[in-house]
A and B are shown apart, each in its own frame.
Chain A
Amino acid sequence: MTSNRSLTEELQSVLRAHSLNAPEPSGAIEDILARTIAADSSDEQPSPRSRPRVLRLLLRPAIVGVAASVAFVLVGVAVVNATRDNGSGGSTASLSEGSPATVQQNRAGAADKSVSGDSPVASAVAECARPSDRVSSSTAGPLTVPRTGARMTVAVTTCTDGRGVATGSQVDVVSQTGSLLATLVDRARAIQADFVIIEGARITVRGYSARLGGAFDYPFTMSPDGTVFTAGPAQRYASNCVADNVRVSIKDGPVRDRTQLVQVVNTDIYPCALAGYPTVTALSGSTTRAVASATIAGPSGGVSGSVAPVVVLTPGAVATSLVELDSQTDGTGVCPASDRVRVSIGAPPRTVTIPLKLPVCGLQVHPLVPGETGSN
């Protein structure tokens, strides 16, 4: 291709276009001011508590490190108001013997549960930022206090943007009666909790953050009397999938002439993580026929829950996204044809354009899921 633009014009255009992919500054501004002015003016007094019976564990993910691990800044510990459930609290945290049994439950999105006033965790379910946000909630446990034998539950609430893309999860420890005891991960941290592992007094929250660059294990240790939860250093177990180590392609979907599958293969020797939707555009010449609308599921498949899953691709593993062609015509009985499909994944995007003749009245694209079917 010979461009009408000069090299430097094209370069400036590329730089300007990609600079728009820079993160929104609001989160960084908040963090900078918290680490400077607020820290300077702090008199070490705890901030006002939104829930007066609980000192909340404020999980402060430190800035992502240079290697494949992340340090966490622990700015507090959760002290349980144990007068109701666990006796008096306040001891220093230490790793207890706990139960040798391992409980691994609560893969987010796989077992959505409606939130109602009758739910034992209803009082602990975090509220999403907007009423229109969809909520997924689930629980893991029991979490047994070594010293007293009292049972607790870990409740996970995930808010989405309405398209099934998680905007953040809140992970709470609640009593059997539904009382909130501690918050391990705050929803404002924009970490999507994937699932929770409970091993005796250890709780590990596996979470994904596009902002922080991958999937992480966030470990916590409960004190023997169940009154203090101490965060350990987070460990990154998969970085975000990157342009140079994934291959993107399109193939026929499960319903002939009605579906296509966007396929992403990890070609690297390390696992990588991703979540969300690809951008799919049907083209005819230079004309855009349709841009696929992002929907969690459609008639031919998609995601069964309400949250786009976190996909961790081991080397050679495949993730797929189902694309559905709408059959509804524009009234003429004829859908305009496209001759190419462009797929972009990530930001900045990994873009491929593939010759593909399709009758396009409309397109839906569903989230990336593990495996080759586009559905989970």
Chain B
Amino acid sequence: MPAHHPVIPAELPRQNVLTWLRSRYFATRRDAAVTIVFAAFVAWILWSLIGWALLDATFAPNAGEVCREDLHGGACWSVVSTRWRIVLFGLYPFEEQWRSAIACIVMVIVAVLSCLPWFWSAKRLPLLWTAGFAIFYVLMRGGFFGLAEVTEQNWGGLSLTIFIFAAVSLLGMPLAIVFALLRRSSLPWIARTMALVIDVIRSLPLLSIMFTFAIVLPFVLPEGLTGDKLYRVIVGYALFFACYQAEIIRGGMQALPAGQEEAAKALGLGYWHRIGYIILPQAFRNALPPTINQFVITFKETSLVTIIGFFDVMASGRAASGTADWNFAVVEMYVFVGLIFFVFVFSLSRYGAYLERRLGVGRR
């Protein structure tokens, strides 16, 4: 940039808050009226919300009776403080729930670590996740090291949701890359077959895929190959995820100028080097926003496992407020579950935004 611009003062003259308010919101009589009406409306909503959620609310555990007799009509967070364990751990045996908690925390730590650029290498990332899953499995399932065995049927709550999400993503992402590469194969029959498979699976509802993998597959597969229902559902879901994600990756690849692959070829780089060092890194950069989108959707749709009898965080929440003692506090429980989802999905979005800045998407 040339330096001969007129000197711009580093700070605009400070504007008085009052003048700013007046010019923005009270410029004319009508503006003033609209401003006052809306401000009052917003204040009223906020006040009711605070009153319901905080001021008039009951927080103490085991205070269901108090809530029922409460004349203020505030929120009954007592349902959460009494029955939060069901939401987090589902049907997991009470005395063993510390294991589920640690497993859950391990998974979150692994997820956070894998967001750090230091772990982004072909060796570290798989190692990290393998270790994470191993610890999770040993803790949750038990049967080793004097830990009581807890079968997958009794896993539940937030730990189950996180496990399904992590497993589907980890299984689905490599599968998606393979699908995208096959879809782009220079051999027409491979490319067409892959396109057909992707189109067929995408045309089926996720619910029916989960159902098929959970219930129908054991009749078709030889015994010993079926595994637990939970893993079958994860495989089915991963397949579904991979088909969507493959198209996202393919989109990212097609956005690359042809010259990139040509330059790599001209340097004598072989197919896997071209894919691993030139094509995929740039394709992922191009495809970052829809990829984050896909992860968000995947996290939220883990709730569908309820249909085949698993108690994910959503179903556990419903179960926790579903007893005769607590069925008046359904809203509070949904708010709590919603908050859990929000924390995870919002973090994911913010991480996506950070990545976009870091990788300079759209700068080129």
* A in complex with B: no
A: residues with CB less than 8 A from B are none
B: residues with CB less than 8 A from A are none
